[in-house]
Amino acid sequence: MTDTGLLKGLIRCLDLTNLNDDCDSAALAELCKKAQTPHGNVAAVCIWPRFVNEAKKLLAGTGIKVVTVVNFPQGGEATLAVEEETRQALSDGADEIDLVMAYQALAEGRAGFAETQIVRIKRICGEKVLKVILETGALKTPELIRAASELALAAGADFLKTSTGKVAVNATLEAAEILLSVIADSGATKGFKPAGGMKSAADAVAYFEVAQRVRGDKVPDPDTFRLGASSVLNALIAAIEGREETRGTGY
């Protein structure tokens, strides 16, 4: 049986997510309510940019951060539009930005474009946390995943995030190990966020165990470790309370 202290720590590291196409104000309100659990609040809610202002009001006084996504999910190359999207999100009150890297440009050998886009978005974010989504399932090879990780850190990423949750292959333990190894090798205090595909408490624990083994994490710390998921929260609560766990569906 997994230690309940660890499970509660993982709840505090969760970016509770609704990036469904049909998300509306009612779904947002439910998400923000769900983010406040008897076993502690999640780190953040991760939502579409259009809901940032509304989420800030719903979460006022809770300490829960508001995260939004830009250049999502395609990781396109319209940098000026992404810059404007980022400025608007920050103006609306976003605490953190999750940027999809222009991973297709990187895969095509145009690493400079992908790097420059991250640099420009980080400049806008300033002291705000910038997580860079590498879309590791689309990059496929360990070599390209490592190259993307190194590039993102060099360009100013505060966190490396595996996936959008919108492609066929999202977070994997193999990709997680590569991202964490690059962070460890850099010597910098940077964060790691697996996202997409986590359904059970065991899934969440497995990612933290990789962080423990590769990077030496001692306890789950939301400043350096996040879990991007919509359905794993119920599983973590069930495990803490000793109830039968039902595997979730969704992001």
CATH code (residue 20): 3.20.20.70
The verdict on residue 70 lying in a domain is yes
Check residue 128 and give its pLDDT: 98
Q: Does residue 205 sit in helix, strand or coil?
A: helix
Active site residue 8: no
One of 190, 193, 199, 203 is an active-site residue; which one?
A: 193
Side-chain-facing half-sphere of 109: CA atoms under 13 Å? 0
The verdict on residue 210 lying in a domain is yes
Check residue 233 and give its pLDDT: 96
The verdict on residue 248 lying in a domain is no
The verdict on residue 246 lying in a domain is no
**Residue 34 backbone phi and psi in degrees, to 5:** -65, -30
The verdict on residue 250 lying in a domain is no
One of 65, 131, 161, 190 is an active-site residue; which one?
A: 161
The verdict on residue 164 lying in a domain is yes
The verdict on residue 249 lying in a domain is no
Active site residue 34: no
The verdict on residue 17 lying in a domain is yes
Check residue 2 and give its pLDDT: 72
Q: Give the total number of structural domains in the chain.
A: 1
Check residue 90 and give its pLDDT: 98
Write 173-179 long-range contacts (CB < 8 A, 24+). Answer: 173/206, 173/207, 173/210, 174/142, 175/136, 175/137, 175/145, 176/207, 176/210, 176/211, 177/210, 177/214, 178/136, 178/142, 178/145, 178/146, 178/149, 179/134, 179/136, 179/145, 179/149
One of 15, 65, 95, 98 is an active-site residue; which one?
A: 98
Q: Tens of pLDDT along the chain (251 residues)?
A: 479 999 999 999 999 999 999 999 999 999 999 999 999 999 999 999 999 999 999 999 999 999 999 999 999 999 999 999 999 999 999 999 999 999 999 999 999 999 999 999 999 999 999 999 999 999 999 999 999 999 999 999 999 999 999 999 999 999 999 999 999 999 999 999 999 989 999 999 999 999 999 999 999 999 999 999 988 999 999 999 998 765 555 55
Check residue 226 and give its pLDDT: 98
Q: Structural domain of residue 69, as residue ranges?
A: 4-241
Check residue 87 and give its pLDDT: 98
- If one counts every other C-beta atom within 10 angstroms of the C-beta of residue 241, the result is 11
Check residue 247 and give its pLDDT: 55
